[in-house]
């Protein structure tokens, strides 16, 4: 990876409960105005990135324990329902990937070899190319499971 500076708007403390993130999730609605949105978790193995992003596994997860992704999706789809009254339509596409030891794994493809170790390269004009990551349409909060793999 290239050494580049990145600007972060905010770093959340590790002891924050998921429910305290709701104010920050207002930014998730900004992509309804046409902006792309990236929800990013960084940390060492076992530090709770997956739990923070997704919350506990299972269909009956309590709202207070839900992760950032399901909370953001609920807010966005709630807003979309309001816009439908005005005749607006939206199409949402999502991808789900992991960067680990400079290798990109397409998590939407699951644990098979097809989605593992996608690499980036350089094009003729020395620009960095990006691997093709799976994008899947998401119409409801529940369809999030269509793009996120089940954990073993």
List the domain boundaries for the chain. Answer: 1-91
Output the tens digit of pLDDT for each of the chain's 152 residues: 456 666 666 666 666 665 556 666 666 667 777 777 777 788 888 888 888 888 887 655 566 677 888 888 888 888 888 888 888 888 888 888 888 777 788 877 765 555 566 665 555 566 666 667 788 888 887 776 556 654 43
- Ligand-binding site membership of 134 (annotated): no
Determine how many CB atoms are found less than 10 A away from the CB of residue 8.
Answer: 7
Is 46 annotated to bind a ligand? Reply is yes
Cα 55-60-61 angle, rounded to 5 deg? 25
Decide: 56 and 65 in contact? Cβ < 8 Å. yes
Asked if 141 contacts 77 with a C-beta cutoff of 8 angstroms, the reply is yes
> How far apart (Å, rounded) are the C-alpha atoms in residues 100 and 44?
10
- The answer to the question of whether 58 is labelled as a binding residue is no
Helices (H), 1-152: 49-54, 68-84
Judge whether 141 is annotated as a binding position. Answer: no
R_g of the chain computed on alpha carbons? 17
Residue 50 marked ligand-binding: yes
Note the residue count of the chain.
152
Predicted pLDDT at 84: 82
Three-state SS at 52: helix
- Structure confidence at residue 2 (pLDDT): 56
- What is the rounded CA–CA span in Å between residue 32 and residue 91? 10
CB atoms within 10 A of CB 28: 19
């Amino acid at each position: 990876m290239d050494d580049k500076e990145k600007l972060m708007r905010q770093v959340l403390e590790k002891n924050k409960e998921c429910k305290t993130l709701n104010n920050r999730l207002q930014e998730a609605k900004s992509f309804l105005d046409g902006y792309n949105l990236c929800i990013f978790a960084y940390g060492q193995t076992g530090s709770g990135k997956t739990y923070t992003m997704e919350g506990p596994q299972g269909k009956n997860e309590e709202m207070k324990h839900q992760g950032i992704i399901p909370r953001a999706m609920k807010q966005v789809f709630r807003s979309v329902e309001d816009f439908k009254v005005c005749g607006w339509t939206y199409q949402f596409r999502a991808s789900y990937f992991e960067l680990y030891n400079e290798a990109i794994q397409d998590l939407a493809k699951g644990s098979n070899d097809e989605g593992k170790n996608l690499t980036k390269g350089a094009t003729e004009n020395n620009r960095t190319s990006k691997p093709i990551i799976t994008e899947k349409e998401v119409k409801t909060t529940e369809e999030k499971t269509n793009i996120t793999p089940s954990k073993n």
